[in-house]
Amino acid sequence: MKEIEILSGAFEKIKAYITDNQNNSKPVVQFRSPAQLKEVINFTVGEKGVSENEFLELLDKYLEYSVKTGNKQFLNQLYSGFNFPAFIGEVFTVLANTSMYTYEVAPVATTIETEMISLMNSYAGYSDGDGIFVSGGSNANLVAMFSARNRILPESRFEGYDRNQKLVAFVNEQAHYSFETAANVLGIGAKNVIKVKSDKKGKLIPAELELEITNAIKRGEKPFFVAATCATTLLGAYDPIDEMAEICKKYNIWLHADGSFGGSIILSEKHRHLMKGIEQTDSFAWNPHKLMNIPLICSALLVKKRGTLQHNITDINTDYIFHDIDTIEDLGKKSIQCGRKVDAVKLWFAWKYFGLEGYQKRIDNLIDMATYAEKIINEQSKLELLSERQSFAVCFRYVPDKESDLNKFNLELRESLRKSGKSIVNYGYIGKTLAIRLITANGELQKSDIDLFFSNVLSEAKKLDN
Ligand SMILES: Cc1ncc(COP(=O)(O)O)c(C=O)c1O
């Protein structure tokens, strides 16, 4: 059978790919411009289907020119690494291809999601909590804001949002852009997400939050939602949840923790103090697809109060799907999606495989690796640390001898490194200063990988600085 032959060919490619992930001498990317990529891969779908060999060749090409996010020199995004048990879990969920709306079509997956939510809630300290897997951290933030709006203005679920009641939300000025998108989607308006000043380390300043809230009240606005970011995207800073919780209690405002990036730190006994006060929040976005290295997408929104998610859904006029026959609540009844991937399953396979202790060690290792990277920067005279490391992000730049425009030089440096295929790292701006941002997200990183990264940076920089 043609498919079985393709499958065994594909299996060999998968094995080779996984083995290469551990090989630091393999490029992290074979960079091609968009035009060059079209020269090496025929993207057009033809009238007739391709042959077995052509199909296998396409599989090869897909892997060849994709970025190798499992390579330990992929230090670019807030996710990376290859998580073997989660990969197998993903393959099996695709094989079973079921959808998370009802127990009827997803009995095992429904039970697994329920178990995962309960385990995650136990870390969050939500004793009567609930939650749902969503399609990413941005959507977790959206559903959190949606839940907060529905708590303060329940009638808006049916009548639409009354614009005379000007709802305003508050986030760290360095919070993720998804909050503005959420306000946009909900009809609240992106301009009504007020950016609260942060300190030098990137943490929201509680006194500034209170000031912004009181100013909004004076203007006749209705504060309804505050987000504490648990690891900001650029600096990896953790907002002071406990102090923010006091303020939110005082003004009766929903407090959300956006742990899309750094929420997994809660698994570490040593470092979870960075999320002190999490049990006082109303909701918590936690993305296992980032620091737990689960293949994208794997993201959960936890809520402190059971019933919150069901309250969001207005019409379950769906006797064609929810039959209420299996003595268990169908998870679809609390989701804004209908068909939904069983993303909790790959997480469950990985958590089973590593155990609670194994995952704790992986997260501790990420902090150790970031600490090590920071130490190298501090010891290397050509490198400058641009902000004190807070967690998994290390921001630095190279100081060249000849070029006086440091932003220009460091932009070129990161581009030339990326195109060399040796390492990939990202950059952002701290004020007006371009910072190269190294992220330790791959649980299997070792000191030798960090050493190799800096040796690649230095050799590339030397080439440019002559
Ligand atoms: C702090 C923060 N919140 C939210 C998100 C969005 O998460 P996702 O990419 O899963 O939508 C990110 C992504 O980088 C993030 O860093």
Q: What is the pLDDT along the chain (466 residues), one digit of tens a residue?
A: 688 988 999 999 999 999 998 888 899 999 999 999 999 999 999 999 999 999 999 999 999 999 999 999 999 999 999 999 999 999 999 999 999 999 999 999 999 999 999 999 999 999 999 999 999 999 999 999 999 999 999 999 999 988 888 999 999 999 999 999 999 999 999 999 999 999 999 999 999 999 999 999 999 999 999 999 999 999 999 999 999 999 999 999 999 999 999 999 999 999 999 999 999 999 999 999 999 999 999 999 999 999 999 999 987 666 777 777 777 888 998 999 999 999 999 999 999 999 999 999 999 999 999 999 999 999 999 999 999 999 999 999 999 999 889 999 999 999 999 999 999 999 999 999 999 999 999 999 999 999 999 999 999 999 999 8
CA 181 to chain centre: 16
Same domain, 134 and 204: yes
In terms of residue numbers, what domain contains 42?
2-68
**Residues in the ligand 1 pocket, defined by CB under 6 Å:** 78, 136-138, 176, 178, 229, 233, 258, 260-261, 287, 299
Q: Report the atom number in ligand 1 closest to the C-alpha of 289.
A: 10
Question: Ligand 1: distance of its center to the CA of 441 in Å?
Answer: 14
* Ligand 1 pocket test target in 79, 233, 291 with most atoms within 8 Å of CB: 233
Q: Report the atom number in ligand 1 closest to the C-alpha of 175.
A: 1
**Residue 291: strand, helix, or coil:** coil
362 occurs within a structural domain: no
Same domain, 49 and 97: no
Same domain, 63 and 123: no
149 occurs within a structural domain: yes
Same domain, 328 and 232: yes
Same domain, 18 and 146: no
| Residue where a domain stops, chosen among 330, 350, 370 | 350
Same domain, 126 and 58: no
CATH number at residue 201: 3.40.640.10
Please give the Cα distance from 308 to 303 (Å, whole number): 7
- Burial environment of residue 104 by CB neighbours within 10 A (0 to 12, 13 to 18, 19 or more): middle
235 occurs within a structural domain: yes
* Ligand 1 pocket test target in 241, 261, 296, 297 with most atoms within 8 Å of CB: 261
| Residue where a domain stops, chosen among 318, 350, 382 | 350
Same domain, 43 and 136: no
Same domain, 165 and 253: yes
Please give the Cα distance from 170 to 212 (Å, whole number): 8
Q: Report the atom number in ligand 1 closest to the C-alpha of 299.
A: 10
| Residue where a domain stops, chosen among 293, 321, 350 | 350
Q: Report the atom number in ligand 1 closest to the C-alpha of 287.
A: 10
Question: Ligand 1: distance of its center to the CA of 184 in Å?
Answer: 17
Same domain, 240 and 140: yes
Same domain, 160 and 275: yes
Same domain, 202 and 314: yes
Q: How many domains does the chain have?
A: 2
Sorted by sequence, the CB contacts under 8 Å of residue 386 that are 6+ apart come out as: 395, 396, 397, 430, 433, 435
Determine what percent of the chain falls in helix, strand and coil, rounding each to the nearest 5.
45, 15, 40
418 occurs within a structural domain: no
Same domain, 174 and 38: no
What does the pLDDT read at residue 318?
Answer: 67
Question: Ligand 1: distance of its center to the CA of 278 in Å?
Answer: 18
10 occurs within a structural domain: yes
